[in-house]
Chains A and B, each alone.
Chain A
């Protein structure tokens, strides 16, 4: 089941998150909803990201594939131009570079879609609160027996409203 607490300021959300996590909830079960980015320092609501790694991996893969493709096409139909070698690395280096960058761009975008969750709404039944401008909603997924505690934690940290949604 889900609890949705509405907060007015960031510090209160932060206290609530810290207390909930201290109480045994994992950060996977916590979601914030807001009309603006809310950022916390390390250790509050950790969201590990592999996006940079994905970008580098995509870049390397795409660059290598492009170079291999150029090599193959040049050898597939060998034509000599301007006295250059059939596969001329320096003359096709720009292609390698651009395709490396294209790999980084595409994998960054792909990883963004994946990591943000927009292409894998794992739990379609999870309620999405309507956030008023300026407020922050904290959605907590928990078992029914934890709900009372979680709700108390939230109101103690300054939630202005708490709502229960979904079945256990």
Chain B
């Protein structure tokens, strides 16, 4: 009887020690993570905002300033600081405060994870121009060619996105097999990165179908065509 009592109290002590160790290590790790998160948060936010800014000017090389807009119900309104679920576009303006184009923020399923890209739209020429991949977890060496492959990126020197009389995109932008590009609205795919390059075509195709008509009309409105005073 007394023997049992001893072993049970001993095993309770052991369990308590285990619990203490796990809780102790767990809270220490949690503290370390919270500390790192808090101390890097502002720097990370700054880096991301800077990267987005850089990306906008990469997509719209002629722009010297940009204004973020959100689109809801076919109307553009200037986007505030807070996050939104509506599509976001960045209007680029040159030194004379004239609109040079839009950088459109779009995302969709890639091969590994969600791809988030920024692509440019030039309302004057009615073309899609410039591509920048903001977030991607595509396979390094294969799928990530969508960011690096020069001949793939050369597709985005001007893809036809002209509207028909019904104010719809005439030909949906899509990706075709490498070397089979025949039309101005087709993206020449990459061998070895088939899924990722198709995903880019799919994202731009879907997003442009919805947004390009809105943006084309907005570009003729003086409130957007001239850089608004903020």
Partners in one complex: no
Interface residues of B (CB under 8 A from A): none
Interface residues of A (CB under 8 A from B): none
